[in-house]
């Protein structure tokens, strides 16, 4: 319980006394060069909880969850341009993650509103295995597959395809 109080006090202190200044919406200074990593022990990872798992965790470790909006929902994050040009891979990944969206003007004059997203599909397969004694065991395999989806709405004025939705999976 002492650890939760210390964490709460530290978070409240950081809210009241910010240590860092906000980056400008337009970067005018020289491009920042990211130094090379000297250690091979650095690993990046992320995890995502399913809604049921998250509800279970919140019920078990309530901490500040009931005050989450009050403490952290007061600011709106303004999307900023990246400091460096995105590679094709980064652009595709950002689009599929829903971080890139908006109006796109094609070179042929067409106008699209785009939105990317990624969702999880679970494929279920069942098969039976027989052991040396003739006993059968049912084996069920749940395979999760993450599917990126990009949707574009054609908003080209006076076009025959106006309002049509193009889906890329």
pTM here is: 0.41
Domain chopping of the chain, boundaries? 1-35+46-81, 86-169
- Cβ atoms of 141 and 167 within 8 Å: the answer is no
Question: If you average pLDDT over residues 7-17, what whole number do you get?
Answer: 81
DSSP state of 113: E
For 53-108, the pLDDT digits (tens) are 777 777 776 665 666 666 555 555 666 777 888 888 887 788 777 777 778 888 88
Token pair listed for 39: 């250690």
Distance between CA 113 and CA 105 in Å, rounded?
Answer: 9
Q: Is 6 helix (H, G, I), strand (E, B) or coil?
A: helix
């Amino acid at each position: 319980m002492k650890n939760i109080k210390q964490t709460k006090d530290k978070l409240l202190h950081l809210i009241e006394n910010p240590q860092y200044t906000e980056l400008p919406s337009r970067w005018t200074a020289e491009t920042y060069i990211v130094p090379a990593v000297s250690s091979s022990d650095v690993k990046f990872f992320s995890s995502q909880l399913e809604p049921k798992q998250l509800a279970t965790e919140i019920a078990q470790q309530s901490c500040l969850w009931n005050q989450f909006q009050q403490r952290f929902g007061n600011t709106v994050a303004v999307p900023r341009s990246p400091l460096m040009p995105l590679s094709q891979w980064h652009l595709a990944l950002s689009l599929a993650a829903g971080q890139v969206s908006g109006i796109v003007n094609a070179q042929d004059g067409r106008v699209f509103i785009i939105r990317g997203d990624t969702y999880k599909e679970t494929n279920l397969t069942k098969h039976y295995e027989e052991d040396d004694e003739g006993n059968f065991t049912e084996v069920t395999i749940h395979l999760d597959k993450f599917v990126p989806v990009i949707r574009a709405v054609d908003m080209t004025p006076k076009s025959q395809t106006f309002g049509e939705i193009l889906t890329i999976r």
